[in-house]
Structure 1
Amino acid sequence: MTLTQLEIFSLVAELQGFTAAANRLGISQSAVSHALKSLEQELGVELLRRHGAQVELSDIGQQLLLRARAMLGLANTLRQEAADARGMKRGTLRIGSFGPTSSIKLLPRILQHYRAAHPGIEVHIDEGPDRQVLQWLEERRIDVGFVVLPEERFDTVALVEDQMVALMPASHPLGLRADVSLSDLCADPFVLTEAGSCELVSRLFSAARLTPNIRYRCSQLMSTLDVVSRGDGLTVVAEGSLPDHDDCRYVKKPLTPTVSRRIGLAVLDRRQASPATLAFLKLAESLENR
């Protein structure tokens, strides 16, 4: 069993195909097939089931994939620790990001300083909903991810805090109030944004024993703003995720009682994090504390 075989197996599982994995790795499809066949023969189990151009993991394949990613992660850490001894001239950092707050307002500034300090580190960025970033961390698909705190499952570093606000069309009667409660938002159609603080918003209503009238689920904040602006619903979002410019089509109101949101970075285990990851955490924390 080699790390190359495990890397090929992990990538085929992620991309769900031999051709896609071969293209990503820059090798032939036959080389991918041979590597996986050799791995299955050595382990004595079927890892993948072929369905034409598509593949799916067997039950044992699902279990071994987590082990393979853990081994690949440790191997990457070893390489980067060696690179660190040479001045961290080489290495890879995989970052998971969600929503405008992290992808637009936090990450660019951190990356600007990080690339200046460590130009040899290759940075990969994956974007998805907040719950997806948590899954990527657990599956070791990324080294570090932006998360809504608290997250007890991971080692975390707090970065920023903002407030949750209610959004409504400019003509809505609630727009005349100084603030609104969660119960005020249950009568109208509700828009749930799944890109950023979906889990936090759901927990807020659940803790208050309230059920919003969810009519729309939007994967992007801009889609949510468009639905609200058209007068088709209300929503709750983080103030820090909103565009910097004012939009006369909708109004924002603070919630009562006030609800804060904290954004931070998370790693699966700081003790096993690579030097490139630790450097990113340290830099992000220092920038936000200035």
Structure 2
Amino acid sequence: MTLTQLEIFSLVAELRGFTAAATRLGIGQSAVSHAIKSLEQELGVELFRRHQSVVELSDIGQQLLLRARAMLGLANTLCQEAADARGMRRGTLRIGSFGPTSSMKLLPELLRRYRALHPGIEVHIDEGPDRQVIQWLDERRIDVGFVVLPEERFDTFMLMEDQMVALLPASHPLAAQASLSLKDLCNDPFVHTEAGSSELVTRLFNTARLTPNVRFRCSQLLSTLDVVRRGEAVSVVSEGSLPDDENPGYVARPLSPRVPRQIGLAVLDSRQASPATLAFIELARQP
């Protein structure tokens, strides 16, 4: 068993295809098939179920995938520690990011400073909803992720705090109020954004035992803002995610009672984090 076999196995599982994995790796499909076949023969189990051009993990394959990713993560840490001894001249950092707050307001400046300090570190960024970043951390697909705190099962580092706000069309009758309750937002059509802090919004309404009249679900914040701007719905979003716009066509009002939102970085275990990951966290926490 080699790390190359495990890397190929992990990528085939992620992309659900031998051809897609071969394309990503820049090798022939026959090489991918041979690596998986050799691994299956060595382990004595079938890792995938083949369905024409699509493959799915077998039950034992799903169990072994978590182990394989853990081994690949530890191998990456070992390489990073060696690179650290050489001055971190080479290495890889995989970052998970969600929503405009982290992807547009926190990451750009962080990446600029990080690359200036560590130009030899190759940075990969995956973007998705907040719950997706949590899944990527659990599956070891990323080294560090931006998350909404608290997240008890990870080692976390708080970076910033903003608040959740009600979003209303500029012409809405409640737009003149200084603040709004969640109950105020249950009488109108509601647009739920899957990006950003979607889990937090759902949890807020559930805790208050309220059910918003969800008519729209948008995967991007800009689509959510457009729905509100057209007067078709109201919403709840984070204040830090809103773009700087002098005439947005909507109004944002604090929730009452105030609902703070904390954004931080999370890793599975800081004791096993690579030097490249720890350097990124240290830089992010600087004032």
Report the alpha carbon displacement of residue 220 of structure 1 after superposing the two structures with TM: 0.5
Q: Report SS of the residue matched to 2:285.
A: helix
Structure 1 alignment gaps of length 5 or more: none
Structure 2 Cα separation of the partners of residues 248 and 60 of structure 1: 52
Q: How does 1:199-238 map to 2 (within 5 A)?
A: 199-238=199-238
Report the alpha carbon displacement of residue 248 of structure 1 after superposing the two structures with TM: 4.0
What corresponds to 2:267 in structure 1? 267
Q: How does 1:114-263 map to 2 (within 5 A)?
A: 114-263=114-263
Report the alpha carbon displacement of residue 249 of structure 1 after superposing the two structures with TM: 1.3
Structure 1 Cα separation of the partners of residues 175 and 223 of structure 2: 21
Report the alpha carbon displacement of residue 207 of structure 1 after superposing the two structures with TM: 1.1
Report the alpha carbon displacement of residue 2 of structure 1 after superposing the two structures with TM: 0.8
What corresponds to 1:17 in structure 2? 17
Structure 2 Cα separation of the partners of residues 260 and 229 of structure 1: 24
Q: Report SS of the residue matched to 1:270.
A: coil
Structure 2 Cα separation of the partners of residues 203 and 246 of structure 1: 31
Q: Report SS of the residue matched to 1:272.
A: coil
Query: Structure 1 stretch 177-186 or stretch 241-250: which is displaced more?
Result: 241-250
Structure 2 alignment gaps of length 5 or more: none
Structure 2 Cα separation of the partners of residues 271 and 247 of structure 1: 47
TM-score, scaled to structure 2: 0.99
Q: Report SS of the residue matched to 1:216.
A: strand
Letter in 2 for 1:197: S
Give CA-to-partner distance per residue, 1:187-217, whole Å, 9 cap, x none: 1111111110111111111111111111111
What corresponds to 1:34 in structure 2? 34
Letter in 1 for 2:249: R
Structure 2 Cα separation of the partners of residues 246 and 98 of structure 1: 25
What corresponds to 1:93 in structure 2? 93
Report the alpha carbon displacement of residue 247 of structure 1 after superposing the two structures with TM: 3.0
Structure 2 Cα separation of the partners of residues 190 and 28 of structure 1: 49
Q: Report SS of the residue matched to 1:107.
A: helix
Q: Report SS of the residue matched to 1:72.
A: helix
Give CA-to-partner distance per residue, 1:43-62, whole Å, 9 cap, x none: 11110111122111111111
Structure 2 Cα separation of the partners of residues 184 and 153 of structure 1: 34
Q: Is structure 2 residue 70 aligned with structure 1 residue 51?
A: no
Report the alpha carbon displacement of residue 20 of structure 1 after superposing the two structures with TM: 1.1
Report the alpha carbon displacement of residue 174 of structure 1 after superposing the two structures with TM: 0.8
Letter in 2 for 1:230: R
Query: Structure 1 stretch 203-212 or stretch 73-82: which is displaced more?
Result: 203-212
Q: Report SS of the residue matched to 1:181.
A: coil
Structure 1 Cα separation of the partners of residues 66 and 74 of structure 2: 12
Structure 2 Cα separation of the partners of residues 59 and 213 of structure 1: 39
Letter in 2 for 1:4: T
Structure 1 Cα separation of the partners of residues 133 and 163 of structure 2: 21
Query: Structure 1 stretch 142-151 or stretch 207-216: which is displaced more?
Result: 207-216
Query: Structure 1 stretch 140-149 or stretch 244-253: which is displaced more?
Result: 244-253
Structure 1 Cα separation of the partners of residues 254 and 209 of structure 2: 20
Report the alpha carbon displacement of residue 285 of structure 1 after superposing the two structures with TM: 0.4
Structure 2 Cα separation of the partners of residues 245 and 171 of structure 1: 17
Letter in 2 for 1:152: E
Q: Report SS of the residue matched to 2:6.
A: helix
Runs of 4+ that moved beyond 4 A: none
Structure 1 Cα separation of the partners of residues 47 and 17 of structure 2: 13
Letter in 2 for 1:239: E
Q: What is the root-mean-square deviation in Å for CA atoms of aligned residues?
A: 0.7
Report the alpha carbon displacement of residue 125 of structure 1 after superposing the two structures with TM: 0.2
Give CA-to-partner distance per residue, 1:77-130, whole Å, 9 cap, x none: 000100100000000000000000000000001100000000000000000000
Report the alpha carbon displacement of residue 246 of structure 1 after superposing the two structures with TM: 2.7
Identity of aligned residues (%): 79
Q: Report SS of the residue matched to 1:156.
A: strand
Letter in 1 for 2:218: C
Q: How many residues align?
A: 287
Letter in 1 for 2:38: S
What corresponds to 1:80 in structure 2? 80
Q: Report SS of the residue matched to 1:147.
A: strand
